[in-house]
Chains A and B, each alone.
Chain A
């Protein structure tokens, strides 16, 4: 599946996007794997106590997981996952 990173997460992972080949059945599984891969510099913006923290945004195929099944939103090998730290603008 393809994962895209934005803002501070690009700094934390040193990537804008990647092809992620390790299987993950849900968004929760995927984020646990990513946190393990990229460590605290990544986790501090999006992960707290095994939950999505604060105002982090995760999209699966363009849809916010909070409008789907949250962290239990299912994934397939073709899923496109976009991960944003908390954002603001105007």
Chain B
């Protein structure tokens, strides 16, 4: 095989058995890799009703065929499992350099099964695979763990690990790799912790082979040029990072503020990308083979929040900033660093703190509940302390670690949790931007922007501008973005390549690389297949159309101020049309005809 290494590494942590098996070329062709391939394996091997934190759940690290090649900005991998936060199929995508190293070690897929009787880490050194004792690492943060593992395995090993949050099985725990990159959402870190697995260190010396070298080189050159020449991907992301979005969302009145009570924040500029570039930015950072470098190498010198690392990204700055009514960028960035050190998803962590702040201001929780932590909106010190407590599993942090839905439900007010399928919505108000609201409601892992990023046409005007307040054409738009994104996620490519290239270019790259003839339509169709398979999994896990919804606030409480004042989400009008566009019945179940077309029947 080309592109794919053709091998799966399977590790049973209960028995210690380690085995390799061949990757089925037909599955690789139809599900591409990463998100799609991992989902197919989960569908075939794991009961969707499984308890996510039980030994019967599996944890799958899976790269894409393009991962590890020099195709531009394509070094990514997915962690696929049943998400403890959501109960849905979860696939958390990450960059850095870990994914390519798994390929170089000779594997497309690492399947982790069972539960180790005591803390261990996995060391993959080409064909030499060992389960090693991790008692001396348990309790260490992500940075210390990574440094220690590089010392005792190899200096050039790439490390994916959990921090203390994953060890405590916080439902919002992430898996971190290369110290600063995150497989963030849906609680994948808790699954790793439930298996007593602290880390996976990997090093390899193989190569990814290419079917047609000349064609691949030409396709790579063409794609790289298109990305570099695109005004968005080429310059803006490198200079300002994703945080540049704060001001545009605020200016149209769609920046969720104070736990989504409002859509704009007077001092938002203080936590935006321009402010970040002027104060904390040290240098841009890029992942493996990246030509965009959207990452932020930053430093906070203010003694109160001193630290150094990568980030914040837009969602992070929004969450710890305007969503908590905080405009202190030092505090926001410190919260970001703490999440990276403890291994916490920044979006869910921030939105859970914002939810706690609203519960506190409404008197639903008191200082007794928070064990002395004063949590009104705007209290930056308390916000940072809340993150620290969650990372350590101490005090009120134990409640925050459950995520906002279970926390708010515990206190009798689930409607104050800004979640879909129990996962916190990101940084775009669905009342101000209709299409992204439909995406939040229907994307298979709950509140998520990135898998159907209609913000691009609705706000940024990329590739074309559509009216953010209209619902016309939004079901079709959301479905198309969801399908294409599923395919791109599965290829190992970073989604920011979409600022530059489209389905025809991905198909060209995939064909030259793998030797399998992908067309633009076929590539998108594979994405549609993957999206529908995720839907089937979720239906079997017990989700239904009633979970395709938004918090009542989005449907019933108009935005209070700013340019989008008065708006609510028109999800109820869009959802039936969306089901129709997808070829699903009125209950959101894929029809037999649709499944047959996708070869899923």
Contacts and interface: CB of A to CB of B under 8 A. Distances in A.
Contacts of B562: 62
**A-B pairs, 7 with minimum CB distance:** A62-B563, A89-B242, A89-B245, A86-B231, A88-B232, A66-B465, A86-B232
Given A62-B563, A86-B462, 19 more contacts: A6-B274, A8-B239, A55-B460, A55-B461, A57-B459, A59-B251, A61-B563, A62-B251, A63-B252, A66-B461, A85-B236, A86-B231, A87-B232, A87-B460, A88-B244, A88-B496, A89-B244, A89-B245, A90-B495
A46 to B, nearest CB: 10
Most chain A beta carbons < 10 A, residue from B233, B235, B449: B235
Contact of A10 (B253, B274, B496, B499): B274
A54 interface: yes
Contact of B242 (A57, A61, A63, A90): A90
Interface string A56-90: 01010111101100000000000000101111111
A64 B252 contact: yes
Interface of B is mostly: helix
B453 interface: yes
A45 interface: yes
How many of chain A's residues touch chain B, expressed as a range?
20 to 34
B247 interface: yes
How many of chain B's residues touch chain A, expressed as a range?
35 or more
A30 B251 CA distance: 19
A67 B469 CA distance: 9
Interface string B489-502: 00000011001000
A82 B247 CA distance: 10
B231 A54 contact: yes
A79 to B, nearest CB: 13
Interface in B453-471: 453, 455, 459-462, 465, 467-469
A62 B564 contact: yes
Contacts of A89: 237, 241-245, 314
B239 A88 contact: no
Given A59-B251, A63-B252, A63-B563, A7 B460 contact: no
Contacts of B236: 7-8, 85-88
A5 B260 CA distance: 26
Nearest to B427: A89
A90 B453 contact: yes
Given A59-B252, A88-B496, A90-B449, A45 B231 contact: yes
Contacts of A88: 232-233, 236-237, 242, 244, 460, 462, 496, 499
